[in-house]
Chains A and B, each alone.
Chain A
């Protein structure tokens, strides 16, 4: 049985559709990264899964319970770290965690032990008597994490657990997640792929409220293997350059990398077609009176797929883009 099962989940805010009929499932003990740019609908989905908001339509089950009809059981079995890590800033760390453990139904005799464990896991034992409002952002994030796992729930839902952390702390969170992996199902949202690559093997990419990709990283590495990433500079302005390169057959995911005055672009193309494609791009730019220079070719990596998928919200994917994803 899957720990999280989502079917045709839709959330509308008035006329705006934040989550558009998404379906996915997360197996027991699996760790899954939920990836997407700002406004993609990650937090909205996670709020529905934790019973904070209802969906407009569709169903979701967490730990075997329906989020709408069995909200209480879902909440008993889910640890949740909301996006902004809300905490009572006037309380002390230990008192807060004891309070949360009580709310989550941890029996009185186990509370001390559970709270101590959670603090040890998140490495906050040394601040256990400090007032939460006096802690740094990173430590608050850890308190939020300790809260999420204090009752040892089978499912953890973490909304951007690493936002606002320094690289060392990011590594700590990664280690902590790895440590509790196996016993616990974890779904976490994030913006960055390198971090996902360190923590888990599976990602779900959401973009504009729809699932853009769902699969293992291995699978995605295989997908990008036949593709190359081409970066170049041109004497044209960015806009006309992007527009003309986009029309070249065999070019996918054109992106504008320009910083400063020299226009710099990149695109993906099939390795097999590389030389011919470069010639076509050169010709297309030349037709506009532009140059094609400083050309660098790399192996495409998984991150290219994500940045490509999640760039410019309004643009429609080109035909070749779909080919990359197929």
Chain B
């Protein structure tokens, strides 16, 4: 247990102590602010009180760019700088390494989300009829945001575990994310005659699941989706780390 704590701490520190994650945080806040302002100004009196949509409406899109950049070096740099050799020759297990990388990333993502609470205050300040934030939907929106970030982080870490080139890893997770998000709207999927193909494609995309949380609903379907896909990509990442043993 103390090993896992030490690993997570190290991972979290590697984000905090380096400038790149902070630059990404800055862009993250800039982009959320931009979309927030756009939504608010476009809403013209349309009440947003029951949802927190304006803040997170484009979160799946924004994170599609930011998360690959945040996670790109997590395993890839350990590989290229050979610190993977010191890490894995200590008595730690491969799953502990991956899990700690994911938890560390997740914690930093929580840190990134914190400043967005300001929008809550902004909404309250704007007041009726546009802003009348409800704590319930806001809580589910943040919950959904955490699930979304967790899934993206798992995909990013998986991509990072495949290569020793951080940039390659960023591209890889970017394309994985694009695929996952876009699979529901691909033309040939849309035109697929079989109903189940369309259903499966929509299910695979995080977008609808996330949107449900934004609307203030916690759906079992969504929980299962985020839980299983996140676990699956972390599992892939562990296997990819283990693959050194049969190469």
A residues bordering B, Cβ < 8 Å? Answer: 47, 50-54, 72, 75-76, 78, 80, 82-84, 86-88, 90-91, 99-100, 102-105, 108, 147
Contact = CB atoms under 8 A, between A and B. Distances in A.
Interface string B58-87: 000000000000000000000001111111
Name, among A75, A103, A108, the residue most crowded by chain B CB atoms within 10 Å (CB to CB): A103
Interface stretch (B10-18, B38-46, B158-166): B10-18
Interface residues of B, number: 26
B6 A84 contact: no
Contacts of B221: none
Given A88-B14, A88-B83, A99-B10, A78 B89 contact: yes
B7 interface: yes
Contacts of B23: none
Given A53-B245, A80-B86, A82-B85, A75 B91 contact: yes
Contacts of B3: 102-103, 105
Contact of A90 (B6, B14, B86, B89): B14
Contacts of A147: 86
B82 A86 contact: yes
A84 B82 contact: yes
Interface in B74-108: 81-93
Q: What 6 pairs across the A-B complex have the smallest Cβ distances?
A: A86-B82, A102-B6, A75-B91, A86-B83, A103-B90, A76-B91
B244 interface: yes
Tell me if A's interface is mostly helix, strand, loop or mixed.
loop
18 contacts: A52-B85, A52-B89, A53-B245, A75-B89, A76-B91, A82-B82, A82-B85, A87-B83, A88-B14, A90-B13, A99-B9, A100-B86, A100-B90, A102-B3, A102-B6, A103-B87, A103-B90, A108-B2
Interface in B226-246: 244-246
Nearest to B78: A86
Given A53-B244, A102-B2, A103-B6, A80 B89 contact: yes
A78 B86 CA distance: 12
B137 to A, nearest CB: 40
Contacts of A91: 10, 13, 17
A147 B7 CA distance: 16
A316 to B, nearest CB: 31
Contacts of B14: 88, 90
Contact of B6 (A82, A87, A88, A99): A99
B89 A51 contact: yes
A103 B82 contact: no
A76 B2 CA distance: 15
